[in-house]
Structure 1
Amino acid sequence: MPEFKISAALEGHSDDVRAVAFPNPKAVFSASRDATVRLWKLVSNPPPTYDYNIVSHGSAFINALAYHPPTSEFPDGLVFSGGQDTIIEAKQPGKTSNDNADAMLLGHGHTVCALDVCPEGGWVVSGSWDSTARVWKLGKWESEAVLEGHQGSVWAVLAYDKDTIITGCADNIIRVFNTSGRLIRSIKDSRDVVRALCKLPPSNPTGAQFASASNDGIIRLFTLQGDLVAELHGHESFIYSLAVLPSGELVSSGEDRTVRVWNGTQCVQTITHPAISVWSVAACQENGDIVTGASDRVTRIFTRSSERQASAEITQQFEAAVKESAIPEQQVGKINKEKLPGPEFLQQKSGTKDGQVQMIREANGSVTAHTWSTALGKWESVGTVVDSVGSSGRKTEYLGQDYDYVFDVDVEDGKPPLKLPYNLSQNPYEAATKFIQDNELPMGYLDQVAQFIVQNTQGATLGLPAEGPATGGSDPWGTENRYRPGDATAAQSAPIPESRPKVLPQKSYLSIRTANLKIIARKLHELNDKLVSEGSKDLSLSPSELETVISLCNELETSNALKDSPAVEAGVNLLLKIATAWPAANRLPGLDLLRLFAAATPVTATADYNGKDLISKLQESGVFDPPVNVNNAMLSVRMLANLFETDAGRRLCIDRFDQIAGAVKSCLSNSGPSPNRNLTIAIATLYINIAVYSTSEGRQSSYWTGKWSVMLLPELTRILSKEKDSEAVYRSLVALGTILKEGGTEIMAVAKGSYDVPAILQTISNSGLGREPRIKSIIGEIKETGL
Structure 2
Amino acid sequence: MEVEAYNLRATLSGHEQDIRSISALSDGTLITGSRDATLRLWKPSPDEELEPYTCSCTLTGHTHYVGSVASTPSGGVLSGSNDKHVIEWDITSGIPARILEGHENAVSCVAPCAASGQLLSASWDKTARVWDKGVCIHTLIGHEAAVWSVLPLEDGTGRVLTASADRTIKLWEQDRCVKTFIGHSDVVRTLALVPGVGFLSGSNDGTIRLWDLAGECLRVVQASDSFVYNVNVLASGEWMTCSEDRTVRLWDCSSGECIQSITHPSTVWACTPLPNGDLASGCADGNAYVWTRSPSRVAAPDALAAFKENVASVALPAQAMAGDQALDTANLPSEEALIEPGTKEGQLKVVKDSTTGTPMAYQWSNGSRSWEKVGEVVGSKDDGGGGATMGKRLFDGKEWDYLFDIDINGAMLKLPFNRGDDPYMAAQQWLWKNDVDQGFLDQVANFIITNTPGNVPVAAGNADPFTSGGAYRPAPSSASGTSVGNVDPFTSSGAYRPSYAQPPAAAGTDDSVKRQRPAQQVPFIAFDQCKHDTVLAKLEEFNAALAADGVTRPLALNAADMALLGSLVRVLKVGGAVSAAQVTLLLGGGKGPCPLAWPAAQLFPVLDVLRLLVLAPTAAPFLAALEPPLISQLARLMPTSDLQNKTHLAVALMVQRCFANLAYNSATRKLVVSSAGEVLDTLASPIEEGSSGLRLAASTVLLNACLMLKENNTLSGETALRADALQLQTLSLCAHALSSVPAMTLLSEEEALYRLLVAVETLIGLGATTHSLALDLDIPAALQSLTLPEGASPKIKETLERVLATLASASSKQ
**TM superposition score normalised by structure 1:** 0.52
- Residue aligning to 1:281: 271
Cα displacement (A) at 1:254? 0.7
Task: Name the amino acid aligned to 1:124.
Answer: L
Task: Name the amino acid aligned to 1:223.
Answer: D
Mapped partners of 2:26, 2:463: distance in 1 = 43
Change (3 A) 1:313 1:783: farther
SS at match of 1:351: coil
CA contact (8 A) 2:385 2:404 kept: no
Q: What do the CA deviations read for 1:536-587 (whole angstroms, capped 9, x no partner)?
A: xxxxxxxxxxxxxxxxxxxxxxxxxxxxxxxxxxxxxxxxxxxxxxxxxxxx
Cα displacement (A) at 1:307? 2.3
- Residue aligning to 2:178: 184
Mapped partners of 1:420, 1:354: distance in 2 = 26
| Unaligned runs of at least 5 residues, structure 1 | 71-76, 203-207, 410-418, 438-442, 459-491, 505-729, 731-751, 767-780
* Aligned-pair Cα RMSD in Å: 4.6
Task: Name the amino acid aligned to 1:201.
Answer: P
- Residue aligning to 2:374: 382
1:191-230 equivalences in 2 (<5 Å): 191-202=185-196, 208-230=197-219
- Residue aligning to 2:29: 27
- Residue in structure 2 matching 1:355, options 332, 346, 349: 346
Change (3 A) 1:37 1:434: closer
Cα displacement (A) at 1:123? 1.2
Q: Does 1:270 align with 2:264?
A: no
CA contact (8 A) 1:65 1:81 kept: yes
Change (3 A) 1:201 1:420: closer
Change (3 A) 1:44 1:449: farther
Cα displacement (A) at 1:433? 9.6
SS at match of 1:344: helix
Mapped partners of 2:145, 2:311: distance in 1 = 35
Task: Name the amino acid aligned to 2:33.
Answer: A
Mapped partners of 1:93, 1:446: distance in 2 = 37
Q: What do the CA deviations read for 1:162-212 (whole angstroms, capped 9, x no partner)?
A: 42211111111111112x11111111111111111111133xxxxx42111
Residue correspondences, number: 457
Change (3 A) 1:408 1:287: closer
SS at match of 1:80: strand
SS at match of 2:144: coil
- Residue aligning to 1:63: 67
Task: Name the amino acid aligned to 1:762.
Answer: T
SS at match of 1:24: coil
Task: Name the amino acid aligned to 1:142.
Answer: V
- Residue aligning to 1:368: 360
- Residue aligning to 2:115: 120
Cα displacement (A) at 1:387? 3.6
- Residue aligning to 2:222: 233
- Residue aligning to 1:322: 311
Cα displacement (A) at 1:87? 0.9
Mapped partners of 1:381, 1:293: distance in 2 = 21
Mapped partners of 1:433, 1:22: distance in 2 = 26
Mapped partners of 2:463, 2:28: distance in 1 = 42
| Unaligned runs of at least 5 residues, structure 2 | 394-399, 407-411, 419-425, 470-669, 671-709, 724-761, 770-814
Q: Does 1:54 align with 2:68?
A: no
CA contact (8 A) 2:281 2:290 kept: yes
Identity value in percent: 30
Mapped partners of 1:422, 1:759: distance in 2 = 34
Cα displacement (A) at 1:7? 1.1
- Residue aligning to 1:130: 125
- Residue aligning to 1:80: 78
- Residue aligning to 2:632: none
- Residue in structure 2 matching 1:259, options 222, 233, 248: 248
SS at match of 2:296: helix
Cα displacement (A) at 1:62? 1.2
SS at match of 2:303: helix
Q: What do the CA deviations read for 1:247-300 (whole angstroms, capped 9, x no partner)?
A: 11111001000000112112111100011x10000111x211111111100011
Cα displacement (A) at 1:236? 2.0
CA contact (8 A) 2:263 2:311 kept: yes
Change (3 A) 1:397 1:309: same
Q: Does 1:762 align with 2:754?
A: no
CA contact (8 A) 1:405 1:421 kept: no
Cα displacement (A) at 1:56? 2.5
Task: Name the amino acid aligned to 1:352.
Answer: T
Task: Name the amino acid aligned to 2:32.
Answer: S
SS at match of 1:251: strand
Larger Rg: 1 or 2? 2
Task: Name the amino acid aligned to 1:58.
Answer: H
CA contact (8 A) 1:396 1:404 kept: no
Mapped partners of 1:447, 1:11: distance in 2 = 33
Mapped partners of 2:293, 2:225: distance in 1 = 25
Cα displacement (A) at 1:434? 12
Mapped partners of 1:407, 1:32: distance in 2 = 27
CA contact (8 A) 1:436 1:445 kept: no
Task: Name the amino acid aligned to 1:405.
Answer: Y
CA contact (8 A) 1:42 1:51 kept: no
Change (3 A) 1:105 1:428: same
Q: What do the CA deviations read for 1:624-676 (whole angstroms, capped 9, x no partner)?
A: xxxxxxxxxxxxxxxxxxxxxxxxxxxxxxxxxxxxxxxxxxxxxxxxxxxxx
Q: What do the CA deviations read for 1:138-180 (whole angstroms, capped 9, x no partner)?
A: x2x12111111111111121122242211111111111112x1
Cα displacement (A) at 1:30? 0.3
SS at match of 1:102: strand
CA contact (8 A) 2:347 2:363 kept: yes
Q: Does 1:249 align with 2:244?
A: no
SS at match of 1:45: coil
1:720-759 equivalences in 2 (<5 Å): none
- Residue in structure 1 matching 2:144, options 147, 151, 154: 151
- Residue aligning to 1:174: 169
Mapped partners of 1:762, 1:435: distance in 2 = 34
Task: Name the amino acid aligned to 1:323.
Answer: A
